[in-house]
Amino acid sequence: MSIWQKEYRIKTKDVDMFRKLKLSALLELLQEASIAHTEELGFPRQTTLDKGYLWVILQMYFHMIQMPVYDDVITIESWPGKMQHMLFPRYYRILSKGKEVMAEGSMMWTLVDAKDRKVAFPEKHGVIIPETETGYEVPLPRLFGKEETTHEDVYTVPYSFCDLNGHMNNTKYFDILMDHLDDPGKSFSEIHAAYSSEVLYKQKMILSWMQDQEHAYFQMQKEKPCFKAKIIY
C-alpha cells in the first residue's frame, strides 16, 4: 500500500481574513502532494514535463469536515486510484494533529501534449501508475449540470495567475470564485469542480454565478466553457 504523507503547518500566506485555510491554498498543497508522490512512484519531470507532457486536472470533488486554520499542523495524504484509459484518479485526505479527518476528496488527472494541447496516451509514453487501495477512498468526481446564474462579470487573466504550463493555474480559479461570493467566510461541506479548456495570460473570460442559502454555482467561459464549480454549504 503506497500512501504519500507529509506534515505541514499552516502559514500566514495560506489563510484568509478569517484565519481559515484558503481554498486555493488547500488545492495548491494537494497539487504539490500529487506531483511529489508521482515522482516517488518513478515518474519525475524528466519523464513528463521535460518531454513536453503536462499534468492537468479535469475534475475534482471534496468533502470538507473542518477547514484548517492558521498555525494548525495537518497531515496531507494522497494515493493513486486505478487508471481509466487516459485518466489518472487520485485520492486525498487532510488529517488534524490528532489524526482526525478534516477533509477528503478525489481528482481526475490526465497528461496533455504541450505542443497541440491534446490529451496524450499514457501507455504510449510509458506512464503507468500502479493503483493503491486503502479503504479510505471517497467517490470520484461526478458530472454536474449547468445552472441559471444571476450575476455576470468580465475577468482578464493576470501574469501572476499563470503557471509553468503556460495557462492560469487551476487553484487560481477558486481565488476568483471566492472574491465574487457575498459571504466568502461561510463554511461549506462540499466542492465540485470541472475544467474543460485552458485560459491563457491576458485572455478575457465571462464570469457567471449564483448563490443562495444552500449552495453557490460559478462558471467561466470564453468562446466555450472553461471552468465550473459548485459549493454546497
Domains 4-125 and 151-232 share a fold: yes
Cα(87)–Cα(123) distance, integer angstroms: 11
| Per-chain mean pLDDT for the chain | 93
Q: Which fold has domain 4-125?
A: Thiol Ester Dehydrase; Chain A (3.10.129)
Q: Which fold has domain 151-232?
A: Thiol Ester Dehydrase; Chain A (3.10.129)
The pLDDT-based confidence of 119 (bands split at 50, 70, 90) is confident
Q: What is the pLDDT of residues 167-213, one digit of tens each?
A: 999 999 999 999 999 999 999 999 999 999 999 999 999 999 999 99
87, pLDDT greater than 80: yes
Per-residue pLDDT, 160:
96
224, pLDDT greater than 90: no
- pTM score: 0.92
Per-residue pLDDT, 1:
57
Mean pLDDT, to the nearest integer, of 52-76? 95
Mean pLDDT, to the nearest integer, of 125-130? 83
- Would you list the domain boundaries of the chain? 4-125, 151-232
